[in-house]
Structure 1
Amino acid sequence: MALTYAPGALHAQDANQTTTAPAPQTNATGQAANNSKPADKTKAKTKDQKDVQDLDGVTVTGIRASLQTSQSLKQNASQIVDSVTATDINALPDRSVTETLQRISGVTVDHYLADDDPDHPSAEGSAVLIRGLPYVASLLNGGESFSANNGRALSFEDVPAELMEGVDVYKNPSAEMIEGGIGGTVDLRTRQPFDSPGQVIGFSTGVNEGDMEKKSKPSSSFLYSNRWKTENLGEFGALLDVSYSELASRSDGVQVNPYVLEPADNLGNCGNVPCEPTSANGNVAIPGDINYYQMDMQRRRTGLYGALQWRPTNDLEISTRLFRSIYNLQWVEHEVQANEGNYFNMVPVPGTTFDYNGNGVFQDGDMVANSWQGYDPTAKATLNTGYPPIGGPNYYALTREQTQFTRTTDWSTDFKYNLNDHMIWSGAVQFVKSTSNEVDFTVYNQFFMPPANVNVSGTPGMTLLPNPTYATIPSNTTNPNSLTNYSNYYLGAALDHLEYDYAMERAFRTDLEYDFVDNNWLQYVKVGVRATTHDTYSNNNSSSYNWGPISQVWQGSSIYNGGTQPLDWANNVPAWMEQQFTMSDFFRGQAKVPTTLIFPSTALVGNYYGAISSLRALELDGGAGGWCPQFFTSADGCTPASGMSADYMHESTQAGYAMLYFGNDNALGIPFDGNIGVRFVRTSLNANGSVTYPSSDAIQNPTGITPAQMALFNGMTTPINGAYDYHNVLPSLNLRFKLTDDLQLRLAASKGITRPDISELNSYMVIGSSWTSAGTSSTSQSAKLAGFTATSGGNPDLKPLEANQFDAALEWYFAPTSELYVTLFKKDLSNYTTTEVHQQIIDGVPVAVSGPTNAGKGTIKGAEFGYSQFFDFLPGAFKGLGVQANYTFLQSSKVYNTTSCDPNHGNGSCSANDVVTNPGLPMQGLSPHNYNITGMYESGDWSARLAWSWRSRYLITPVDSGDTYLPMWNASSGQLDGSVFYHLNKNMQVGLQVNNITNTVQRVLMGPTSYVNGYVDWNLYTRALFMTDRRYELVFRASF
């Protein structure tokens, strides 16, 4: 998505055009910052600040207009800021504000659907980090805004870029700015009617398509703005801006399950007790087979923005704005996933051996599972494409659909009133409301994968082995197409997750500014107050997923009673619930895997509420013994394994600040200016939630369960409450020294806070049970209680993250569109929050609890370098060439020992006894090296950009919430995007934008693993490879 219009001067290629840059938004105390003050009363803070608003007469066009505007904002601002204007976003090949932000030095973007989910990549950028920190405050026209997704910031990918005039990134806040952005503050600026001298009409239309998904999707936008003068009522302005866009994308992924260390001469013989290595000598690392999936995603984004302005007199201006963003996301996933309880069950086919690299890590081999696979041999044979002890592992062929809907409405009204020649009074009220709904539903087919050759030396893959000696059912295994035989599958389980979030904030602020006229030192002083109330409600937590069996091999007495096999897809399941699906051109043909299998149908999975009765009617244990939908209660005849929980939070804040702006041209021998201030803020929090215990329905086998453990299976939900109150004093100082007319030095220091995310403060805990295999016996019940796990969704006692921040910047502006700068920075952090697994005793039973905690102190330091220039000294058309480049170096001294679960000791599950420590992990999301290089060309009617963004390896999450329980890393990667536009005339242009030109493969790594007996495996193993579309968009734009 790209911004699709601007006032005509920014688009047309007329040599007589001019553009006026907006004033820097230094007054971001919660007001909707306005780019113009009441006429004739604008105060001259400094000559440079005034010059930002008076660029008339400078001839600029297209990309040059963007660079000059952004450069002027950066050069003349009263603090350290980077800006992107509407023309920048128009010219970049970016579909959203998020992807545009990554071009700014110090800003990085994640490409995952959720910031702690390493299993689902996103075609568009998602989470924004500034200087390696995700603690980013989001403002809309200077006022705080957010999305109801359990966080405190806007989901920038939800925001239509078409509605934005510009984006400002503040990296060291002053006292007048709203607190909350330790990483930085992103202020989204929309257009105002008074920004343009008269009528402006702009519209665009486009169509985009991904080369893997092969579905064309539209985009369009329209803007109208005008202003009118009246004889008695002053001047009025009105603006309407609407946008609509769709995107269809496909992602293919292949995963390697966690490696376990085993003695090389004793593979698969550990039984129920893992072979615990004491050193690397004599051990080999074996993966728990591989998974692969194909995900089809569709996104729809709608934006509406309206603004009214009224200037009744030269001393008073009133503005009101309404902003609405609607975001719909739907994705359907077909995944083939290993379902082995013990990762060390994977062994070579008899008579073969595995191949290893020089470090003893598995590379290639014919692999089967040495595990228990069911009860009665006769009935089991109808489910098995391979028969124990030479059978393949149990696998899921699952279909999953997730739908998300988010709507955010932001209304604000502000005023500015010149009380006299020295004093300005301003104020604003703001109302923000956001709702978010999510339905996530998965249905699992299960089958036994035939023996296969597994290769992980390059792109992981598996090739089925057709040798009939590997099984007792040759008709099912002599042909790799046996995976299309419906008789080989049974309907295994279902998993659902429902979430509804609601958030509302009311904010009020008022400010008073006094200007010192003809004072050699003092320029002006500002004071202000701000108060907010923030209410949130969530009927479920983001990590509560509700799994339940439909038919499982360990439900032996139910499945094999009378020798029948009720859930054989060929005989006992309605035809509409099944579907043969082919992953076409999987991974562009680079991964060899079986691509045609039998999955639950999209008609079933895509109709969650309609599927409930159909699935429950097929449950082998029926009623309370099978899958129970998450929103059910005991009144519905069953209790879900992980039910719903209602959580409420009320937060109120009161803040006040005072700032003094000063400067002198002669006292130090060079001109300098700056500001000093302090902000005081008080926060009060009250959170209501609950503890949910597992129900007795979750008991798969009562054998060996102690009375204390059995007491936890009570299905009760107990309410809990938490309250907290704290205050913070936040000083700030900004200095600027003008070494020459073009060279300046900036120094900045401040203290900031970031409050914990809403999801981290909600008071709730969901306790679940973990089950694992007891051995390889074909006659014993396989399900055994391994222990209890709990997701602690919140902690109302969490303290806000605090930072003492220091910046020093040297900036050289050697031409109107050319700059060179270097910035050194340091952040001393305390109360860092992370998610850890720890053992907690609940009702006398040890539980492995995963939840947020304050992890201590740390430091981030680094440097930013930037360069931008058009090569005007080149001859002829070559003078249209230019380059923008920036590099950011980040270093974290934060080293903390997070806890997780060891797959080698945990038998593929996580219980209290499996908790181990991962020493020496860095901060999440922090890439030590990041750079962007953009080649630009603008000459005559042509303009083009080619943009490369790259970042080095970073930690995604210290504890994966999936089936690995390990730290997850994103390997170093980059992406190339491009665009070219041709101006048909001064009002119209056509263009082509391309994303992911080089077909970037996203690589996820896992480790290190702290094995038992003190051995630490420091290797990082490949966990996953992801591939997404190349995306093309043809665009037409016009403005008048």
Structure 2
Amino acid sequence: MKRHHPGQTQAAHVHPFALKVTVAVLAGAGILSSASVWAQDAATIDTNTAVVTVSGVRKAAQSAQTIKRNSDEVVDSIVAEEAGKFPDKNVAEMLGRITGVQVRREFGEANSVVIRGLPGLVTLLNGREMYTSSGRSLYLADIPAAMLYRVDAYKTQGAEMVEGGTAGVIDVRTSRPFDAKGFTSNVVARVENRDKSNSTDPNVSGMVSNRWKTQYGEIGALVGLSYQKGNYHDEVTWNSPPEPRGNGITGPNDLGHVLYQGERERKAANFAFQWRPSQDVELFAEGISTEIDHAAQRQFFVAGLGWNPNSQFTLIPGTNQVASVTSTNAFPFSLSSTQAPLDYSIGSQGAIGARWDVSRQLRLTTELARTVSNFRQEFPIMDFIASPPTVTGNTYVNGGAQFYYPGYDMMSVNNYRVATLFDNHSHSEGRSTDWRADAIWNPAEEGFVKELSTGFRIAKRVASFAHELNGFMPAPGNIPLSSVPQLACTSMPMAGDYGLAQWLTPCAGYMHDNLTAIRRMFNGTGLKTEEDKLSRFNNEEDTYAIYGKAKFGFDVGSIPVDGTAGVRVVHTRASLNGFSLANNVILPVNSQPSSTDVLPNATLKALVAPDVIARLTAGKSMQRANFDQFNPGVSYNVPSTTVMAVGNGGNPDLKPIEGNNFDAGLEWYFAPTGSLTGTLFRHDFKNYILTSSTKETYNGIVYDVNRPRNMSKGTLQGAELAYQQFYDGLPGFLNGLGLQANVTYMKGDLTDVNGDLKPFVGMSKLSYNVVGLYERGGWSGRLAYSWRDKFVETFNYRGLGFDLIVAPIKTLDGSISYKINDNMSVTLDAENLLDRTYHDYHGVPSNPRDIRRYDRVIGLSLRWKI
């Protein structure tokens, strides 16, 4: 398809009075900041423990284990083996190996992330809130691994952390120049081959960093660049929901295929500047920007089964579900369609901040950050209609649907007509300014109180969104495809045998290159569809937060106990602007909700044996609804032969989700890279938000309208177990073997206002990861297997009374590296070795919905460093 878019050292002497006055002035002006990195990492004023030196697979595992052991909160981390070196391409992919974290992979990469089955995450970049366009979370796949220092997945939250997540916090830490001892640089060149898309694509990244001692103090600077290009191919074959066929028998109306192809380009850059004029003062400036071009096409084929009294069918043995059907001379509905999304996204964040150690006991930090993110999409869809007389369909063959058209040529332009254009488009934007300041005080004498800290944060956020109004355009008259053959392309080949192998489908590239002319063919003007007022929102949200936290310690007999107690008070004030429909008149709506949330948190950590830690945490968390969920408007599809009567709306009366969270853990650290840890957890929810479908009538048509609603309450509980060890006692080459393994078990449900139980969407009861490690001499490697149990994808699917359920998913990835010399290494990695499938079904396994297959990826990387 044609693309269109593109450790501390003493510095030189500086007069202390002048320096302190300068810092005070900058802090008062809001230019210095509490680098939340400092606020969260620093247990005391000595920050040496916050610097993680990494070298090799073993050292990376050791560093992650040290972070977990020393943390007040329940946290799991992934640390770079060396600066800029991770075995994954982006943040989302690496998170899938962390205990209790599950990711979903489609469209060529890992994307959505859940912690303990819950999607309510706070995503932070260097301790600061970061998001994508009008959403509340960062699209983690957009952050390339080349820029990372480490990733922390917090299951519990301290009072000093930015609020907003009931599931946990993902904090992505980028490299800074003071992380290294001096000059360092690296360049990574990678090519990856994907089997189903039959493509070989480049990935290039590089980083250079240095620090200097000058007469003005120590200065450090870092610059990083990344370019990733990736083609992908996903293929899907599906069944529509089952419907009664008489005598208790059920079967689908339609079968179909969907072939996804896309090309995604990511360009990213980051910088960091640090200046330490004296040992007591440090200033920094840093920023990151990512730009994504994504051109895709989704080729659909919808095969009606032509049900009539003469249709012949068989049943799946032992069920009343139809296995196969043949309808002769039925002229079933047959549609070929291409969706051609063209996406452009750009997001940037910049921050300046400082630390001032006023004395040996008092540290002040402050930080000012600005985030801007924009997204826009052109999404034309065109349909062709064919009229074959006979169809034969099988509802479950090779894991999916299979259908044929005997005696009918689906590759002839003479057998199609142009039917429909959907002129879809949307755009969204997010902007925010955050300022926070913190103070940390350590008593001069050892006692019960080890540290007191306090701080505040002020954040102003604006989010907006709009999409098209009724992009549906039927073709004027009967347009035979033979009269406009330039619109037709041959569909992509399929890896599996699903009957109809190829067909004619609208050309995505032609649609983008000639979109104005195509619009003119359908509407006579060539004009773009106007925006839907009911889809628009422009929301403002102001947040004011203040916290206080104490760290303490005492002995219970011979057992030392450390703990924290803190509280965060958050006041949120919003102005939510949208539109609603009353008596077919569109009216502006403004609501100004406000809330004050008090979020206490406490932890206890006891050293019950020299290498054994018992841990207890309890706290309250809150999560605001997404901005689009507040939108009072409802957007209705125009129902047709290809579009169901569906509406999507919001709920301006949504309340924040409240969570009371409890964790109890026991952790045994028997070696620098050896540990066995277990955690029991429970989350009690109030006002949990669940989106479901209900029947609503508009203009005499019954629509399935999806709306978010607050549930009355909910409970989720479970256990995590993790193990890590390198087997140093093994003989010979086996001496380099290591193992990481973890398992998570969960159960829970939600209760609505009527007392009915609802499932947690996206929660697998059981999941586990097993990662084999190896490092010896110049060789290192990983082999990672992940498995997650079935989960509910959509509650009350299309209002039909059953849930859409995803079957268990298993994934196997691997990599092997060889260090040629001190400056150069080569890595071979492979993703999706098992040719995984994604399979979901309508309530019960004998009613399948679809089966999805993805690319196998083989990558070869060459890394050069100094």
- TM (norm. structure 1) is 0.76
Is residue 254 from structure 1 mapped to residue 237 from structure 2 by the alignment? Answer: yes
Is residue 464 from structure 1 mapped to residue 428 from structure 2 by the alignment? Answer: no
Match of 1:728 in 2: 597
The alpha-carbon deviation at position 631 of structure 1 amounts to 2.8
Match of 2:723 in 1: 867
Counterparts of 2:658 and 2:156 in 1: how far apart (Å)?
13
Is residue 1000 from structure 1 mapped to residue 836 from structure 2 by the alignment? Answer: yes
Are the aligned partners of 1:364 and 1:454 in contact in 2 as well (CA < 8 Å)?
A: yes
Are the aligned partners of 1:400 and 1:605 in contact in 2 as well (CA < 8 Å)?
A: no
Please show how residues 956-1035 of structure 1 align to structure 2 within 5 Å. Answer: 956-960=793-797, 967-1007=803-843, 1021-1035=847-861
Please show how residues 379-418 of structure 1 align to structure 2 within 5 Å. Answer: 390-418=329-357
Is residue 320 from structure 1 mapped to residue 270 from structure 2 by the alignment? Answer: no
3-state SS of the aligned residue for 2:592? strand
Question: 856-865 vs 89-98, which deviates more?
Answer: 89-98
Match 1:632 to one of 520, 527, 530: 530
| 1:902-934 deviation digits (Å, cap 9, x = unpaired) | xxxxxxxxxxxxxxx9x7541111000010001
3-state SS of the aligned residue for 1:798? coil
The alpha-carbon deviation at position 764 of structure 1 amounts to 2.3
Are the aligned partners of 2:782 and 2:815 in contact in 1 as well (CA < 8 Å)?
A: yes
| 1:968-1019 deviation digits (Å, cap 9, x = unpaired) | 2221011100101110011210011110011011112123xxxxxxxxxx66
1:997–1:428 CA distance, 2 compared to 1 (3 A): same
The alpha-carbon deviation at position 414 of structure 1 amounts to 1.1
Counterparts of 1:361 and 1:89 in 2: how far apart (Å)?
56
Taking only the aligned residue pairs, the percentage that are identical comes to: 27
Counterparts of 1:506 and 1:890 in 2: how far apart (Å)?
38
**AA aligned opposite 1:359:** T
Are the aligned partners of 1:896 and 1:922 in contact in 2 as well (CA < 8 Å)?
A: no
The alpha-carbon deviation at position 452 of structure 1 amounts to 2.5
Counterparts of 1:444 and 1:134 in 2: how far apart (Å)?
35
Match 2:743 to one of 879, 887, 900: 887
3-state SS of the aligned residue for 1:98? helix
Please show how residues 945-964 of structure 1 align to structure 2 within 5 Å. Answer: 945-960=782-797
Please show how residues 523-542 of structure 1 align to structure 2 within 5 Å. Answer: 523-540=450-467
1:811–1:353 CA distance, 2 compared to 1 (3 A): closer
1:357–1:896 CA distance, 2 compared to 1 (3 A): farther
Match of 1:214 in 2: 198
**AA aligned opposite 1:505:** S
Are the aligned partners of 2:680 and 2:720 in contact in 1 as well (CA < 8 Å)?
A: yes
Is residue 575 from structure 1 mapped to residue 485 from structure 2 by the alignment? Answer: yes
Are the aligned partners of 1:431 and 1:505 in contact in 2 as well (CA < 8 Å)?
A: yes
**AA aligned opposite 1:940:** G
**AA aligned opposite 1:548:** M
Match 2:648 to one of 791, 797, 800: 791
Counterparts of 2:693 and 2:40 in 1: how far apart (Å)?
53
Are the aligned partners of 1:692 and 1:766 in contact in 2 as well (CA < 8 Å)?
A: no
Counterparts of 1:864 and 1:356 in 2: how far apart (Å)?
39
Match of 1:549 in 2: 474
Question: 758-767 vs 513-522, which deviates more?
Answer: 758-767
Match of 1:592 in 2: 498
The alpha-carbon deviation at position 31 of structure 1 amounts to 4.1
Unaligned runs of 5+ in 2: 1-6, 8-31
3-state SS of the aligned residue for 1:283? coil
3-state SS of the aligned residue for 1:484? coil
Is residue 354 from structure 1 mapped to residue 311 from structure 2 by the alignment? Answer: no
**AA aligned opposite 2:666:** L
**AA aligned opposite 2:579:** S
Match of 1:434 in 2: 373
Are the aligned partners of 1:722 and 1:763 in contact in 2 as well (CA < 8 Å)?
A: no
Is residue 934 from structure 1 mapped to residue 771 from structure 2 by the alignment? Answer: yes
Are the aligned partners of 2:712 and 2:751 in contact in 1 as well (CA < 8 Å)?
A: no
**AA aligned opposite 2:166:** I
Match of 1:648 in 2: 538
Question: 759-768 vs 949-958, which deviates more?
Answer: 759-768
Counterparts of 1:953 and 1:446 in 2: how far apart (Å)?
36
Unaligned runs of 5+ in 1: 1-6, 8-28, 112-120, 264-281, 369-389, 467-478, 552-558, 560-565, 634-641, 694-710, 774-782, 899-916, 1008-1017
Counterparts of 2:846 and 2:527 in 1: how far apart (Å)?
38
Counterparts of 1:547 and 1:803 in 2: how far apart (Å)?
42
Counterparts of 2:433 and 2:783 in 1: how far apart (Å)?
43
The alpha-carbon deviation at position 723 of structure 1 amounts to 1.7
Match 2:360 to one of 416, 421, 431: 421
3-state SS of the aligned residue for 1:606? helix
**AA aligned opposite 2:786:** S
Counterparts of 2:346 and 2:763 in 1: how far apart (Å)?
30
3-state SS of the aligned residue for 1:456? strand
1:37–1:501 CA distance, 2 compared to 1 (3 A): closer
Counterparts of 1:1006 and 1:952 in 2: how far apart (Å)?
16
1:657–1:250 CA distance, 2 compared to 1 (3 A): same
3-state SS of the aligned residue for 1:346? coil
The alpha-carbon deviation at position 403 of structure 1 amounts to 1.6
| 1:263-283 deviation digits (Å, cap 9, x = unpaired) | 2xxxxxxxxxxxxxxxxxx31
**AA aligned opposite 2:635:** V
| 1:440-494 deviation digits (Å, cap 9, x = unpaired) | 111000112442221224323445354xxxxxxxxxxxx34x2222222111101
Are the aligned partners of 1:540 and 1:644 in contact in 2 as well (CA < 8 Å)?
A: no
Match of 2:113 in 1: 128
Counterparts of 2:800 and 2:699 in 1: how far apart (Å)?
28
3-state SS of the aligned residue for 1:146? coil
Counterparts of 2:33 and 2:565 in 1: how far apart (Å)?
19
Counterparts of 1:214 and 1:295 in 2: how far apart (Å)?
13
Are the aligned partners of 2:217 and 2:277 in contact in 1 as well (CA < 8 Å)?
A: yes
Match of 2:26 in 1: none
Match of 2:567 in 1: 678
**AA aligned opposite 2:545:** A
The alpha-carbon deviation at position 286 of structure 1 amounts to 1.5
**AA aligned opposite 2:591:** G
1:540–1:253 CA distance, 2 compared to 1 (3 A): same
Match of 1:302 in 2: 267
Match of 1:194 in 2: 178
1:126–1:550 CA distance, 2 compared to 1 (3 A): same
**AA aligned opposite 2:385:** Q
Match of 2:102 in 1: 108
**AA aligned opposite 1:791:** N
The alpha-carbon deviation at position 842 of structure 1 amounts to 7.0
1:462–1:418 CA distance, 2 compared to 1 (3 A): closer
**AA aligned opposite 2:423:** D
Counterparts of 1:451 and 1:818 in 2: how far apart (Å)?
64
The alpha-carbon deviation at position 575 of structure 1 amounts to 2.8
- TM (norm. structure 2) is 0.91
The alpha-carbon deviation at position 818 of structure 1 amounts to 0.7
Are the aligned partners of 2:711 and 2:750 in contact in 1 as well (CA < 8 Å)?
A: no
Are the aligned partners of 1:36 and 1:194 in contact in 2 as well (CA < 8 Å)?
A: no
Counterparts of 1:740 and 1:630 in 2: how far apart (Å)?
70
3-state SS of the aligned residue for 1:71? helix
| 1:290-333 deviation digits (Å, cap 9, x = unpaired) | 10121111111111110111111221111110111112222112
Counterparts of 1:748 and 1:50 in 2: how far apart (Å)?
24
The structure whose residues are more often strand, as a share, is 2
Are the aligned partners of 2:367 and 2:435 in contact in 1 as well (CA < 8 Å)?
A: yes
Are the aligned partners of 2:187 and 2:863 in contact in 1 as well (CA < 8 Å)?
A: yes
The alpha-carbon deviation at position 604 of structure 1 amounts to 3.1
Counterparts of 1:196 and 1:832 in 2: how far apart (Å)?
44
Counterparts of 1:348 and 1:882 in 2: how far apart (Å)?
64
Is residue 330 from structure 1 mapped to residue 324 from structure 2 by the alignment? Answer: no
Match of 1:492 in 2: 419
1:487–1:766 CA distance, 2 compared to 1 (3 A): same
Counterparts of 1:353 and 1:89 in 2: how far apart (Å)?
62
Are the aligned partners of 2:272 and 2:287 in contact in 1 as well (CA < 8 Å)?
A: yes
